[in-house]
Amino acid sequence: MNVDEIALFTEGLDDIVIENGTNEYLEITLFEENPQAHSIETETADNQLKIQFKNAVINSEETIFRKYITRRLHRARAKIKIPSDKSIAIYGENIGVVSNSYEGNLSVVINKGNIALGKISGNTTISLFQGNISATTGDTFIDVTTTNGLIMVNDLSEKSPYISKPSAITSTLKISSIHANVTIRRTTL
């Protein structure tokens, strides 16, 4: 791939999984309950590959009043294998994000959802309104701010903002949130 950054727009997905690719190719696997209910659109501009997941089914049903309003699931998820030398930006509303210890730089900007980062190797930035974040870090500079959420580091409660500067910094983790609970496991102190 001849781009340095990959932007993922996750409209129509419930979950997205990011994995390290074993070659220089981008692999996308889309799992959905209804065949052909989603489409994947790509566009390349300014050294950035934009990937959009679109809900292809147009809902023509009349809106039904429900006593308890719940979020309707799209019943679709994607697994993406990306070369570790690429930077990833994920944008969405309500989505679960799982990074299986992705080694590159990662940026996540979502409204609501759960984010599981695994082991952090690259620079990671997260902006989340409401949800839960979990990560495992080594020699990582950590800057976490949450207005109404809890911050747990190695099972100890910390106050917001939580900043940790190890002597040897190999990566950074910056989290800003309003209502997110953050759980961090430090492997080195």
Q: pLDDT per residue over 3-43, tens digit each?
A: 889 999 998 888 999 999 888 889 999 888 877 778 888 99
Residue 57: pLDDT band (50, 70, 90) is low
- Which two structure tokens, joined as six digits, stand for 66? 């429900």
For the chain, the residue count is 189
Considering the entire predicted model, what is its pTM? 0.85
Q: Which residues of 95-119 are buried (b: 16+ CB within 10 A; e: fewer)?
A: bbbbbeebbbbbbbebebbbbbbeb
Question: Which residue from 117, 119, 82, 81 is spatially nearest to 96, judged by alpha carbons?
Answer: 117
Is-contact 162 146, C-beta < 8 A? no
Q: What was the pLDDT predicted at 84? A: 84
Q: What was the pLDDT predicted at 145? A: 93
Q: Give the pairing of strands 27-32 and 162-164.
A: unpaired
Cβ atoms < 10 Å from Cβ of 187: 11
Is-contact 77 17, C-beta < 8 A? yes
Q: Which sequence spans correspond to the domains of the chain? A: 5-57+76-186
Backbone angles phi, psi at 177, to 5 degrees: -155, 165
Q: What value does the mean pLDDT take over residues 141-164?
A: 91
